[in-house]
Chain A
Amino acid sequence: MLRPDLAVIAAHVAPGSRVLDVGCGDGTLMQALRDKRCDTRGMEIDAENVGICVGKGLSVIQGDADSDLAFYPDQSVDYAILSQTLQTTMRPDLVLDELLRIGRRAFVSFPNFAHWRVRLSLLWRGRMPVTRLLPVAWYETPNIHHLTVGDFRELVRSRGIRAEGAWFLSGDRQCSAAAANFRAEHAVFLLSRE
């Protein structure tokens, strides 16, 4: 079973596309896309995960989204994918630009920091949330740039990026765009340059 945000992405990548999965982890999404005859390449920061991917026959480069995307040619893939990784980068805005330089389109998924559970934790307990989506305490989390659905929409708008599609997830169910900034745990956006 694919993680819900990955399932959304896998379902909306056209078969046979060229794909770069940035932060591909153990290659689960790449495998699903390979089954759709996609030409998949991956980047992953963790050496053990890279080893797992190579063992699956996937082409994955150990690298850092903040520094190593520069070496990919312009418009060299149909989709650049960044799942659950944006909030761990040093400069999410620049990474977003890189994704749309390399890919004609980009899928970006991230945990929504404005989900009601997160809000409650801050409002009632005055503490950084530890939820099923954000299970790690503030001092050891890799998430250094928490963001909300509202923040992301504004960033995208300000950089002249078009949101071709958006999917909002609560658990494994989708929820409506209207209340997304309150109800969505995950958001998935399909982006392109305007």
Chain B
Amino acid sequence: MARMIDRSAPLPHLHFHIMSTMPITDAAQVLHLAQPLPLDGGQSLADVRIAYETHGTLNAAKDNAILICHALTGDHHVVSNHPRTGKPGWWVRMVGPGKPIDTDRFFVICANVIGSCMGSTGPASPAADGRPWGMRFPVITIRDMVRGHVALLDALGIDSLHAVVGGSMGGMQALSLAANFAERTRAALVIASTARHSAQNIAFHEVGRQAIMADPQWRDGDYYAHGKGPEKGLSVARMAAHITYLSEAGLTEKFGRRLQDREEKTFGFDADFQIESYLRYQGLAFTDRFDANSYLYITRAMDYFDLAEEHGGLLANAFAGSQARFCLVSFDTDWLYPTADSRNVVHALNAAGLPVSFVELSAPFGHDSFLLDVPALDRVVEGFLGESGQNA
């Protein structure tokens, strides 16, 4: 365990500069780590770049910063338009002036996780030999991603966050940061997430990974010189995963058994049903914006996530050093990270004696509810973040 504790130490002597050549929008910046980033797998990663976006103003005391952690296929474009799709940022409904995460009041940071393909160092980035890392990229963990975030906080001169916030995989990072870098945040808001991946979670990810690896275009991950790579495999992976983000009731309401642009079934294997057409579109669109190898690495990191295991098997121990306030939110139709997963964290926080709030919200959209129009979530987020800590 001593090895782990050493890695938790902040990285010294970092400098950062703005990379004007990055093909991303104005708000985005890139931090170049001067020191190698130590990894849970035993290796370390040199020449790490972390792409991030900030909104609002850091106050003189540097105590009004909120770190937002993104989900599996998300990125740091939390409110700015996506550079490839042109679509609005993934949480514009939650973040901005006067919004629940109020950029008039808070300095909001969102960083792309390492392993991703949106600006931070990942398998598509060049390795020391100038060629893309591909499968030579080390397997990373959620805690490794958080080490990248902490290096960014160091560079920005932020000792302690007002809060760390995340949904889904972002919630895992929020938990990991609050547990492993306890002094770096005064609050953690964890939405539709879990402290460990279940067998079912791992199973769905494995289907996705096998779909990618079964695609001949994958070429053992060394496809970058050969066009777009394993599009078919990545598309199938996204289709399978997308089902887990929605609810059965939501699918029935949106698509039912309705046919796609036709009056009758074709007795063939075209996309007769609207749901088939929708999934095929979602899968294909995903290949335009995401790297297949990044998908392999990030899903692996999520599968490896078990916060209790990192701390001797008892989740309450993970939070022994924390003095933060916590808020957990689940959704009644989320079967990917069901309410029981959030309750498990709540019970551990209770046992650790930490101030924790928890609510299961009712929303029809399944796991994706955290990204969608759920006014009750807005109220909880605004209320929790608006308080600067009491109960002292």
Contacts and interface: CB of A to CB of B under 8 A. Distances in A.
Contacts of A50: 357-359
Contact of A55 (B360, B380, B391): B380
A61 B346 contact: yes
Contacts of B376: 47-48, 51
B383 A55 contact: yes
Contact of A59 (B347, B357, B382): B357
B390 A61 contact: no
Contacts of A34: 390-391
A22 to B, nearest CB: 13
Interface in B285-334: 325, 327
Contact of A54 (B359, B360, B362, B391): B359
Contacts of B392: 39
B262 interface: no
A16 to B, nearest CB: 11
Interface string A63-91: 10000000111001000000000000000
Given A41-B355, A57-B390, A72 B380 contact: no
A58 B384 CA distance: 8
Given A47-B376, A59-B325, A73-B351, A53 B382 contact: no
Contacts of A40: 391
Nearest to B389: A57
A60 interface: yes
Contacts of B353: 73, 76
Interface in A99-152: none
Contacts of A62: 358-360
B391 A39 contact: yes
Per DSSP, chain A at the interface is mixed
A54 B383 CA distance: 6
Contacts of B355: 39, 41, 59
B76 to A, nearest CB: 27
A56 interface: yes
B356 A61 contact: yes
B357 A56 contact: no
Nearest to A72: B350
B129 interface: no
Contact of A61 (B325, B350, B362): B350
Given A40-B391, A41-B355, A57 B383 contact: yes
Contacts of A56: 383, 387
B386 interface: yes
Contacts of B386: 55, 57
Contacts of A73: 350-351, 353
B284 interface: no
A51 B360 contact: no
A51 B383 contact: yes
Given A40-B391, A59-B325, A61-B350, A47 B359 contact: yes
B361 interface: yes
21 contacts: A39-B355, A39-B391, A41-B355, A41-B356, A47-B362, A50-B358, A51-B359, A51-B376, A54-B357, A54-B359, A54-B379, A54-B380, A55-B382, A55-B386, A57-B390, A59-B357, A61-B356, A71-B346, A71-B350, A73-B353, A76-B353
Given A40-B391, A51-B376, A57-B387, 14 more contacts: A34-B391, A39-B355, A47-B376, A50-B359, A54-B359, A54-B384, A57-B384, A58-B357, A60-B357, A61-B346, A61-B357, A63-B358, A73-B351, A73-B353
